[in-house]
């Protein structure tokens, strides 16, 4: 079982440290979703957004209470990032998004509510709580196993683990799965955003 390296986890530890002072408290509320193959207009239409009403701002300037979904086209994929209470963690929406490809998502909210998911062809393939990665479900619970090494190592530390590694390890795992990275610079430059109908 492999997955993200220690260096990759450290990248996300620094990410949280450097974003500690922004209005959006990313340590308490964030979702990161990758849809592929996909285009921004099609994705927004599937989740109740209006492609014609896109605006732009820097993610580090918005509060977590705001319901903005940031969208970015990267190659044949669309990245969606925002606070975890906008409704994009709803499984029905993710099934629609994955109908013609794949969707990978990690999210967390207050009280450690979190999930890492992989969907393909409209089906939930794998779902797990990143704090307890051995407890997996879905059509193929083992589909992400090669990426879960760092989560298992963290879980094995039991009560000795520090909470400051939970979400950095989850994000590093998401990067391992998708090949995409979110960094501090991403939060500090303008991106298109939309509001979606919950």
Confidence (pLDDT) at 182: 95
Joined tokens for residue 8: 């990759």
Paired strand residues for 57: 191
Instruction: Find out whether 78 and 72 touch, Cβ atoms under 8 Å.
Output: yes
Where are the chain's structural domains? 6-195
pLDDT 10s digits, 39-86: 999 999 999 889 999 999 999 988 766 778 999 999 999 999 998 867
pLDDT 10s digits, 85-144: 677 888 999 999 999 999 999 999 888 899 999 999 999 999 999 999 999 999 999 999
Q: Which residue has the higher pLDDT, 104 or 24?
A: 104
Confidence (pLDDT) at 1: 54
Q: Is the pLDDT of residue 198 over 90?
A: no
pLDDT 10s digits, 172-182: 999 999 999 99
Torsion of CA 26, 17, 23, 186, to 10 degrees: -70
* pTM for this predicted structure: 0.94
């Amino acid at each position: 079982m492999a997955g993200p390296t220690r260096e990759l986890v450290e990248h996300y530890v620094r990410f949280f440290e450097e974003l500690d002072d922004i209005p959006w408290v990313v340590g308490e509320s964030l979702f990161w979703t990758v849809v592929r193959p996909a285009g921004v207009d099609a994705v927004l239409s599937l989740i109740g957004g209006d492609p014609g009403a896109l605006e732009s701002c820097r993610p580090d300037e918005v509060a977590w209470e705001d319901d903005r979904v940031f969208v970015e086209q990267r190659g044949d994929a669309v990245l969606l990032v925002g606070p975890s209470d906008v409704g994009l963690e709803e499984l029905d929406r993710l099934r629609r998004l994955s109908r013609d490809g794949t969707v990978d998502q990690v999210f967390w909210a207050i009280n450690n509510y979190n999930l890492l998911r992989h969907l393909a062809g409209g089906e939930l393939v794998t779902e797990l709580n990143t704090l307890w990665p051995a407890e997996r479900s879905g059509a193929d619970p083992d589909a992400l196993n090669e990426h879960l090494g760092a989560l298992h190592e963290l879980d094995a530390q039991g009560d000795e683990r520090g909470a400051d590694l939970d979400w950095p390890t989850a994000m590093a795992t998401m990067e391992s799965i998708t090949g995409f990275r979110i960094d501090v610079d991403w939060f500090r430059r303008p991106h298109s955003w939309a509001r979606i109908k919950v």
